[in-house]
Homo-oligomer: A and B are copies of this chain.
Amino acid sequence: MPGRDTMLDERPRVLAAGASALARTLLSYEPLDPVEVRAVEAGLGGVLTHRAGSNVELDGEGLPVLVVADGWAASVVALEPDRRQIVDLHLAGDVVDMADLQAKDLTLTALTRLRVQTAGGAMARLHRLGAPGRLGRAWRLKQEADRRRAVRHIVRLGRMSAYQRIADFLLELQVRQQRATGSAAGVIDLPLTQDVLADHLGLSVVHVNRVLQQIRRDGLIACRGARIAVRDPARLAHHALRA
């Protein structure tokens, strides 16, 4: 089968109007005026760039709140060598509270070239303590969405077949990317190895490979490099629930 796949995909992402992924994400939850949007972007610190495969460490003393500007990161629990669980995937527009990563054996790893920004004091406070107003509400909605996502992932791991897990994961990803980068519906950017997918979805690489092929053969998706086209969203959603 000519399934040609991934590799580092370093095209500069096309972001309309210069809006950051975080701002886009927040806007997708709550209408914000330009002043509030600027407040968000002004609240972000310098950009740190990490190579794919490197761990994001905290050199400073505080426990900053990070925002993913670009690229993919993962919260990883290492078990025996060659055995790990990717607890969560973080992509552009996501907020990562490093305080939650203090748990031993839980590390933040760059899966692709990764750019993160530290959230300044005001933003970190907004994140940890909440804030009134539309901005606070947008942020709160984002946090609630993340908690729902965690629940969804537990359901995936606990009660879904491999086919369902992958279908459901792709659907979730599509929505997330639409929110964060305003990407077109029906298109998913997935610059991850099947190995990473496997460790996130609790499956073996081989099985992920086979099931992905099955989903393609079923005409639900089509792959071209790191890009996935959702051919039949309705049927994909249907299979995520029962199949």
A100 at the interface (CB under 8 A from B): yes
Which chain B residue has the least Cβ–Cβ distance from A150?
A: B150
Asked if B157 and A154 sit within 8 Å, CB to CB, the answer is: yes
8 A Cβ contacts from A42-100 to B:
75, 77, 79-80, 83-85, 87, 99-100
Q: List, in ascending order, chain B residues with CB within 8 A of A130's CB.
A: 128-129
Say how many copies of this protein the assembly contains.
2
A212 at the interface (CB under 8 A from B): no
A79 interface neighbour in B75, B85, B99, B159, Cβ under 8 Å: B159
CA distance A82 to B239 in the complex (A): 18
- The count of chain A contact residues (Cβ–Cβ below 8 Å) is 33
Distance in Å from the Cβ of A93 to the closest Cβ of chain B? 21
Asked if A85 and B202 sit within 8 Å, CB to CB, the answer is: no
Q: List, in ascending order, chain B residues with CB within 8 A of A234's CB.
A: none
* Contact flags A176-196 to B (C-beta < 8 A → 1, else 0): 000000000000000000000
Which of A130, A159, A199 has its CB near the most chain B CB atoms (within 10 A)? A159
* Contact flags A133-156 to B (C-beta < 8 A → 1, else 0): 000000000001001101101110
A217 at the interface (CB under 8 A from B): no
8 A Cβ contacts from A192-233 to B:
199-202
20 A-B pairs within 8 Å (CB atoms) are namely A80-B242, A84-B159, A85-B154, A85-B159, A87-B151, A87-B154, A87-B155, A99-B144, A100-B144, A100-B147, A102-B144, A128-B130, A129-B129, A150-B150, A150-B154, A154-B154, A157-B157, A157-B158, A157-B202, A158-B201
Q: Report which A residues bind B (CB closer than 8 A).
A: 75, 77, 79-80, 83-85, 87, 99-100, 102-103, 106, 128-130, 144, 147-148, 150-151, 153-155, 157-159, 199-202, 241-242
